[in-house]
Amino acid sequence: MSVLEKVRPGRPATAVAREPRVTDEHGRRVRAGELVWRYLLLLAVLALTVGPFLWQLSTSLKGPTEDIYGSPPRFLPGHPTLHNYARVADTIPVWDYALNSLKVAAANVVTNCAGSALAGYALARLRYRGRRVTTLVFVLAMLVPVEGIVIAQFTTMRELGLNNTLIGVVLPGAIGAMNVLLMRNAFRNLPYEIEEAAYVDGANVWQRFLRVALPSVKGTLAVVAIFAFMGAWDDFLWPLIVLSDPSKFTLTIGLNYLHGTFANDERLVAAGTVIAVAPLIALFACLQRYFFRGVGEGAVKG
């Protein structure tokens, strides 16, 4: 997704023109009038996108005596306080829930990276009877909508005695078929000659996989890792079905519980949602290009 990564400076370093010169991606000048309405529209969309998040943040920082319902509304808290964050921790074990979410997300990253790299490598590089059938299995699995099988997944978990455990939350998505196919394509796009050279040098299949092939697909592996983390951290339907004991809740289920039980305390719910969304926004801010690359490579994820 090179479109996103290449940023041309508005003013080329060589130009010493007095008037600031803004050029588009083809180096052609953008007229001032067009520039003005473009920025106006951008700011309007910006307000619509960020506004709701900021309003939530602002609500979470307003003290118990401050009016949050007033009309016209007050956008900034008069006396910002972290009191609501302490209160939300008194009401539900929000930090335990965050830890549960973190455990689930971390496990999901490890299993998806390891499992899909291994299987992807087998599908792309190893020759064995049944390779085509294996590929077909993953393609079919990718097409099955999760919403159509959650009930059966739940009964399967009960049969295994894993319902109401964090392992039960992780397992169904532990090695996504989609990720296996992504890794397979990444391995297939590597030039074969490098591995042949390693083979001639006497490297066995493990060494070729770990030392030669895997380091060359780090980018795709990063995409798999990030989407595995985000998918697990954000998931709602499956944990809602498989977890029933409030002490095992993940953050999303805990928030739903908080909302259902203390719906009238908007400051509290706001503080809870800020806790849930902040880590992901931070992650996104640091690793943007992998997020965008993930959309490009796996446009079928949604």
Task: Show contacts with other proteins in window 178-237 (CB under 8 A).
Answer: 180, 192-193, 196, 199, 202, 204-205, 209, 230, 233-234, 236-237
Please, what is the minimum distance in Å from the beta carbon of residue 81 to other proteins? 18
**Of 12, 15, 32, 35, the one binding other proteins by CB under 8 A:** 35
Residue position matching structure tokens 């003013």: 11
Please, what is the minimum distance in Å from the beta carbon of residue 46 to other proteins? 6
Please, what is the minimum distance in Å from the beta carbon of residue 124 to other proteins? 10
Which residue number, 81 or 134, has a Cβ lying nearer to other proteins?
134
The span from the CA of 17 to the CA of 6, in Å, is 23
If one asks whether residue 291 binds other proteins (CB under 8 A), the answer comes out as yes
Residues 59-78 that bind other proteins (CB under 8 A): 59, 69-73
The span from the CA of 294 to the CA of 288, in Å, is 10
Please, what is the minimum distance in Å from the beta carbon of residue 236 to other proteins? 5
Please, what is the minimum distance in Å from the beta carbon of residue 190 to other proteins? 12
Residue count, binding to other proteins (CB under 8 A):
113
Which residue number, 89 or 141, has a Cβ lying nearer to other proteins?
141
Please, what is the minimum distance in Å from the beta carbon of residue 28 to other proteins? 9
The span from the CA of 188 to the CA of 205, in Å, is 16
If one asks whether residue 169 binds other proteins (CB under 8 A), the answer comes out as no
Residues 108-137 that bind other proteins (CB under 8 A): 111, 114-116, 118-119, 121-123, 126-128, 130-131, 134, 137
Residues 84-103 that bind other proteins (CB under 8 A): none
If one asks whether residue 152 binds other proteins (CB under 8 A), the answer comes out as yes
Residues in a beta bridge with 23: 29
Please, what is the minimum distance in Å from the beta carbon of residue 211 to other proteins? 15
The span from the CA of 270 to the CA of 63, in Å, is 12
Contact 173, 231 (CB under 8 A): yes
Which residue number, 23 or 81, has a Cβ lying nearer to other proteins?
23
Residues 250-289 that bind other proteins (CB under 8 A): 251-252, 255-256, 259-260, 266, 269-270, 272-273, 276-277, 280-281, 283-285, 288
